[in-house]
Structure 1
Amino acid sequence: MTIVIDAATPADIADLRQLYYAVYGPHYPVALGTDPVEMSRLIADPHSLWLVARCPRTGGLAGSAAIRSEAGSRTGKLEGLAVHPDHRAAGLAGTLTEELCARMLETGRLDSVYATVRTVSAGPQRVVSRNGFRPLGILPNAVDLSSRESLALYARHSAGVLDRRVPVPEVPAPLAPLLRTVERNLGIDYADTAVTAPLPTRASTTPARLEMIEAPGFVRRRFHDRFPDADRWFYPLHTPNTLLVADDDRFEVYAYLNRTGRYCALVAAHPGPAVAADCLEAITRTLTRAGTGYVEALLPLSEHGLLSAFLAQGFIPSALYPAMRPEADGDRFHDYVVMSRAAEQIDFRGVVVDEQLQPYLDAYASAWASTYLPTLEVAP
């Protein structure tokens, strides 16, 4: 049967919700497949593209996928890739992915597209790999579905983007396994990047007492007042909905908290990240008490001091996204690293990874060991 690929419309929303339920069951934590209001916004968004696969005879939906972006951003995210169980032998996942990338990357609308892929089976990893996406890392315990699951980070770049990266002078030593893995998998070079000891850090001498405010509208308005442009923050496709405030007004931390998936992304800090970095332990403890099982931050690879502060508080370098953010003139690109911390015990026994992703699992295990396993001296 010939399948027709075209753009999703508001009239498809009810059928799309049924499709995602058929594929993922009742625990899908993404608004794209569950919230009609957010689905309508994405369909109408001129910076994004949502495609569906239709059966011409019945008009029913056989598959769905979207690339979401936002105004002023050159980065997109592949989301909501789903194929109805009755149509999984037709190669629809690859067809939808390739068509989206052709329209968003090959036309020059975006510089790169990333995807977070489930690791309960190798199938989703192979779908994105066959369509030009390459692995960048693994995010352990990143989301709570029917159980706590780890995700893999993949990305696909437009032609020539990876060749225009800004050099990074040095990185803390725990990032070395991740850099070496990215070099081998993506064919890029960090030979001129020195691997040095993390900078000494110390926690604030005055313990931080934090107030947590979950008021999406208020937080969004205050965030845009504090950060009218993206020069002092960068986290694509994450609008803060939660605010952590020190009771002495030393700092504010803006975060995106997903209650359904029980994960959190630290987006920005005011007046600057260095002040909040001294109180990372209090910040993560507050989020853990609020039910968050996974916290991540996206940091510039060039920020040696900031990376050292996160390492000192138990965050692990989980993924490296080369050429993620362009400079103002768009000619060169900066690398970013995902630093993550899991509140619950990580169990990789149920993780299934393909050959390309396995080195990232090994790199994470090496970084975790160097952070959490002490170096013991053996007495003669």
Structure 2
Amino acid sequence: MDIENSITIRRAKLTDREELLALYLTVYGDDYPLELGTNKQLMTRLLEEQEKAFWFVVELADRPGIAASCVVELEPEFRIGKVTGAAVHPQCAGLGLSSKLIGFAVNEVMAKAPSINTLYATTRTVTMASQKMLISNGFKPLGIFPNARKIKTYETLTLMGYFREGVLDKRTPVQRIPPSLVELYLQTNKSIGDEREIELVEDCPAFPKNIAHEESKWEFIQAPEFVEKRFNEVFQGDRESTFYPFHKPNLLISNTVLGVEMFASFNKKDHYCVLISANCPITTINGHFKKLAFAFKEIGIYYLETLVRIDYFEAVCFLGANRFLPSAYYPAMREIDGVAHDYVLMTRTMVPLDFSESQISSEFTPFVREYVRQWIDLNLSTVGVHL
């Protein structure tokens, strides 16, 4: 087959929805963790809101129906997008459709959405194919999400970024950084071809270990509409505190003694929780996080992550003191008044770390090695094990 002449890539239409549902079911079965290929209401919104979602499909001249699909969702306010939902029909495997589709989608979005600075994608680690395919299309490795998704087992994901030309030139210099971020920072800079020196490596301040008293209790409110309404009330006009692309809060974590309200996005199926923001600095819960961690486990949360702007030094240090590890680094993730700011992804897994079934491309080896080194130091140093 002359694949170059037989392939057609076009924008998906609402009339394609049922066929797309069938495609994702055929490709992934019941294991697909995203709503994109299973939730009709969400799919309808993405297919209709063509300025915020570019959904592309592949058709072949000698085969009826949709052969492949992918979506690029956009958050124009934050000038960022994500590539997701890549699927190729099993009968069309081996034709390179996924790579051609992603390459076309990225070029099309960058041409037709000039406000978008960067796109990101995550990949599973059951095979290396998707990692290699994204790298070949200009995506840069930025780190990992360890134990992030519960599919058949707890699976590690990779993070990659694609950057519009000139965006990385707008990065603000990193003025100080804790020792725990040095290797991740340097490796990310090497990955994106923007190597620069660190102005200052500074040790973190000490934080109290555990000062929580009996009256200090954590309550969890899982009511998506109420939580989103409360979130909008608390952060009205405050876009800095609400920066967490493609995540909406559905969980409110409250401590009335401390006056703390934390807003999170919780996926019960994966036991995965993203801490989006809080009504006060994260350091307000100094000495109370150990009790909160036990409360997370009790409601079935086994993985935590949060994004922190790299110049929020004390917040990064506080999370590190409470068993979060830096696992990915996103340069120039958000532009404000012409200046692009870096963010670090801090993660905490509460289940045993296991890479035994992971297939990870060599480009990610330095990220995995550094994460494992820090995990060993955090969890095994007291028994004399170091890496």
Structure-1 separation of matches of 2:124 and 2:104: 21
Given the alignment of the two structures, is residue 38 of structure 1 paired with residue 42 of structure 2, yes or no? Answer: yes
Structure-2 separation of matches of 1:25 and 1:346: 26
- 2:256 counterpart letter in structure 1: D
Alpha-carbon deviations, 1:168-222, whole Å to 9, x = none?
A: 1111111122112113222223413322222211246334311101111111111
Structure 2 counterpart of 1:150, from 153, 156, 173 = 156
Number of the residue aligned with 1:171: 177
Structure-1 separation of matches of 2:7 and 2:292: 49
Conserved 8 A contact 1:311-1:371: no
Conserved 8 A contact 2:262-2:277: yes
Structure-2 separation of matches of 1:284 and 1:70: 31
Number of the residue aligned with 1:214: 222
RMSD between aligned residues = 1.9
Number of the residue aligned with 1:226: 234
Extract unaligned runs of 5+ from structure 1.
none
Number of the residue aligned with 1:12: 16
Shift of 1:56: 4.3
Given the alignment of the two structures, is residue 195 of structure 1 paired with residue 201 of structure 2, yes or no? Answer: yes
Structure-1 separation of matches of 2:249 and 2:288: 19
Q: Any residues of structure 2 matched to 1:1-380 within 5 Å, and which? A: 2-45=6-49, 46-56=51-61, 59-107=64-112, 108-203=114-209, 205-207=211-213, 208-228=216-236, 229-248=238-257, 250-276=259-285, 278-327=287-336, 329=337, 331-374=338-381
Structure-1 separation of matches of 2:129 and 2:64: 27
Structure-1 separation of matches of 2:40 and 2:10: 19
Identity %: 32
Are the structure 2 counterparts of residues 366 and 9 from structure 1 closer, same or farther at C-alpha, using a change threshold of 3 Å?
same
Conserved 8 A contact 1:214-1:242: yes
Conserved 8 A contact 1:105-1:157: no
Structure-2 separation of matches of 1:352 and 1:236: 27
Are the structure 2 counterparts of residues 362 and 106 from structure 1 closer, same or farther at C-alpha, using a change threshold of 3 Å?
farther
Q: Secondary structure at the match of 1:202?
A: coil
- 1:51 counterpart letter in structure 2: F
Conserved 8 A contact 2:310-2:342: yes
Shift of 1:71: 4.5
TM-score (norm 1): 0.94
- 1:97 counterpart letter in structure 2: I
Alpha-carbon deviations, 1:299-324, whole Å to 9, x = none?
A: 11111111111111111100000000
Conserved 8 A contact 1:181-1:363: no
TM-score (norm 2): 0.92
Q: Secondary structure at the match of 1:374?
A: helix
Are the structure 2 counterparts of residues 277 and 137 from structure 1 closer, same or farther at C-alpha, using a change threshold of 3 Å?
farther
- 1:31 counterpart letter in structure 2: E
Q: Secondary structure at the match of 1:348?
A: coil
Structure-1 separation of matches of 2:196 and 2:157: 25
Q: Which moved more, 1:202-211 or 1:121-130?
A: 202-211
Conserved 8 A contact 1:280-1:310: no
Conserved 8 A contact 2:10-2:57: yes
Q: Which moved more, 1:87-96 or 1:215-224?
A: 87-96
Alpha-carbon deviations, 1:55-93, whole Å to 9, x = none?
A: 345541111101112251201111101111111212111
Shift of 1:248: 2.4
Structure-2 separation of matches of 1:213 and 1:104: 38
Extract unaligned runs of 5+ from structure 2.
none
Conserved 8 A contact 1:316-1:340: yes
Conserved 8 A contact 2:52-2:74: yes
Q: Which moved more, 1:277-286 or 1:131-140?
A: 277-286
Shift of 1:53: 1.1
Structure-1 separation of matches of 2:373 and 2:156: 17
Shift of 1:6: 1.1
Q: Secondary structure at the match of 2:220?
A: strand
- 2:193 counterpart letter in structure 1: G
Structure-2 separation of matches of 1:196 and 1:143: 33
Structure-2 separation of matches of 1:37 and 1:258: 18
Alpha-carbon deviations, 1:5-25, whole Å to 9, x = none?
A: 111122212111211122212
Structure-2 separation of matches of 1:83 and 1:284: 40
Conserved 8 A contact 2:145-2:347: yes
